[in-house]
């Protein structure tokens, strides 16, 4: 925690830009959702015969649906008691229709497509601005950190350099500072922008169908567990493979260094037999890793298709029951897919942040180190008798 606080001190001069990042991140997430949700009225405009919707038709539709809503109150999720998502969704669609629905279907389609282009333009514009501001913040912080680290190293005593490798000192100034820079970027994106994006996407998903949302995330969690178990096995085997690679290097170094002894003792056949046994074990381990690696991609694709099929099946049942439309199901699929990216990045953010904290800890050890050699001057507290110069 202390390391994190010290890193944040380097970000203090950029308080204004950090506030701007928060604002731009929210706008990026908002336009991302708007760009996806605008597909719904686009589909309605293509597949329906409606043009401009009159107020009388809306009132009639509302009066017809009032009894249905009262009959289904017991099926509402708990949050509907506090927030009527269906009413909000209908109101948003009405506002959209008031603005974009024209007298002809062709004009309506043109307006919606123009709005779709505009929404994606602003989404990508704010995404670009967000990345630029974050990069400006992190480069300003890491420049100051790199300057401080170099200043601390250059002021060290000569004995310090005798005990340090040149590559290690260069690693402090370049690689460790670079890890901190990437950690700052990952923190901004995965702790600010992505959580807000996930929150907004979830709001859209629950507004479309809370049952389908819960079902989809249950399936996703199960698939994630299966993939994680396989990934751990691959990681364990990869670690064993790296260990075997190191053992092979050690064996080769040992044999080549002792080649004179092997030749003089005529142990060539014995050593060849031992090495063949070692390479056979190495090959079996390599084959096992390769089998797991080759199965991951088709397994992931199969699980993904199975998940999509289950979601479409459950969503199709919702369409048959009349709780959502086919167009809403398509928009739901787009929104669900868009949610997975930020969720995955949030899950992977901890690794990058921890790497940055480890590098920062090493850097602060250098910054906190003090020269052991003093200048040799003696401090005189006061005069006791006199000052005398001797030649």
Residue 248 forms part of a structural domain? yes
Query: Which pLDDT value is given to residue 373?
Result: 53
Q: 209, exposed or middle or buried, with CB in 10 Å at 0-12, 13-18, 19+?
A: buried
Query: Which pLDDT value is given to residue 129?
Result: 92
Q: How far apart are CA 179 and CA 360, in angstroms?
A: 8
Structure tokens at 200: 């907004």
Residue 293 forms part of a structural domain? yes
Q: What is the pLDDT along the chain (391 residues), one digit of tens a residue?
A: 677 778 778 888 888 888 898 898 888 888 888 877 777 777 776 766 555 544 345 545 554 454 444 444 445 555 555 556 667 667 766 776 677 777 777 787 888 888 888 888 998 999 899 889 888 888 888 888 889 888 888 888 877 777 777 767 787 888 788 878 777 776 766 677 778 888 888 888 887 788 888 888 888 788 778 777 776 776 677 667 666 766 777 777 777 788 887 777 777 788 788 888 888 887 887 787 777 777 777 777 787 788 878 888 888 888 888 888 887 888 888 888 788 777 777 766 666 677 777 788 888 888 887 765 555 556 666 666 666 767 6
Structure tokens at 316: 């199709």
Q: How far apart are CA 49 and CA 41, in angstroms?
A: 12
Task: Indicate the DSSP class of residue 48.
Answer: S
The answer to whether 344 touches 161, Cβ cutoff 8 Å, is no
Closest of 14, 305, 270 to residue 140, by C-alpha: 14
Query: Which pLDDT value is given to residue 112?
Result: 80
Question: What is the DSSP code string of 298-362?
Answer: HHHHHHHHHHHHHHHHHHHHHHHHTSS-HHHHHHHHHHHHHHHHHHHHHHHHHHHHHHHHHHHHH
Query: Which pLDDT value is given to residue 258?
Result: 80
Residue 89 forms part of a structural domain? no
- Torsion sign, CA atoms 321, 323, 326, 332: negative
Residue 34 forms part of a structural domain? no
Residue 253 forms part of a structural domain? yes
The DSSP element (H or E) to which 96 belongs, if any, is: helix 85-100
Query: Which pLDDT value is given to residue 8?
Result: 77
Structure tokens at 236: 């364990």
Q: Which residues contact 18 (CB under 8 A, 6 or more apart)?
A: 11, 137
Number of independent structural domains in the chain = 1
Residue 109 forms part of a structural domain? no
Domain that holds residue 270: 210-323
Backbone angles phi and psi of 90, in degrees to 5: -65, -40
Residue 282 forms part of a structural domain? yes
Residue 127 forms part of a structural domain? no
């Amino acid at each position: 925690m202390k390391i994190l606080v010290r890193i944040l001190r380097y970000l203090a001069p950029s308080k204004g830009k950090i506030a701007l990042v928060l604002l731009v991140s929210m706008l990026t997430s908002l336009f991302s959702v708007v760009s996806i949700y605008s597909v719904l009225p686009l589909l309605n405009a293509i597949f329906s015969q409606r043009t401009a919707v009159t107020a009388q038709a809306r009132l009639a539709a509302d009066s017809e649906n009032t009894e249905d809503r009262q009959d289904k109150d017991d099926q509402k999720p708990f949050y509907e008691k506090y927030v009527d998502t269906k009413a909000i969704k209908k109101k948003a669609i009405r506002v959209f229709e008031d603005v974009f629905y024209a007298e002809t279907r062709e004009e309506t389609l043109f307006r919606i497509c123009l709005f779709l282009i505009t929404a994606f333009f602003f989404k990508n514009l704010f995404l670009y601005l967000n990345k630029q501001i974050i990069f400006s913040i992190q480069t300003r912080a890491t420049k100051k950190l790199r300057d401080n680290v170099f200043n601390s190293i250059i002021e060290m005593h000569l004995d310090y350099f005798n005990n340090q490798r040149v590559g290690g000192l260069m690693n402090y100034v370049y690689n460790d500072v670079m890890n901190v820079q990437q950690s700052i970027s990952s923190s901004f994106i995965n702790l600010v922008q992505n959580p807000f994006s996930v929150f907004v996407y979830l709001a859209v998903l629950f507004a479309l169908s809370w049952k389908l949302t819960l079902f989809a995330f249950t399936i996703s969690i199960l698939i994630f567990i299966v993939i994680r178990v396989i990934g751990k096995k691959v990681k364990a085997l990869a670690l064993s493979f790296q260990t075997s690679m190191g053992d092979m290097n050690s064996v080769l170094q040992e044999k080549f260094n002792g080649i004179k002894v092997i030749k003089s003792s005529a142990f060539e056949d014995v050593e060849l037999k031992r090495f063949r046994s070692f390479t056979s074990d190495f090959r079996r381990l390599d084959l096992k890793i390769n089998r797991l690696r080759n199965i991951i991609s088709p397994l992931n694709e199969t699980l993904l298709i199975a998940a999509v099929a289950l979601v479409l099946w459950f969503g199709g049942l919702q369409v048959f029951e009349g709780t959502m439309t086919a167009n809403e199901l398509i928009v739901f699929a787009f929104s669900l897919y868009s949610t997975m990216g930020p969720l995955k990045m949030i899950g992977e953010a901890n690794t990058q942040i921890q790497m940055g904290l480890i590098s920062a800890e090493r850097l602060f050890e250098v910054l906190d180190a003090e020269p052991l050699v003093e200048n040799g001057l003696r401090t005189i507290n006061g005069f006791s008798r006199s000052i005398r110069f001797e030649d």
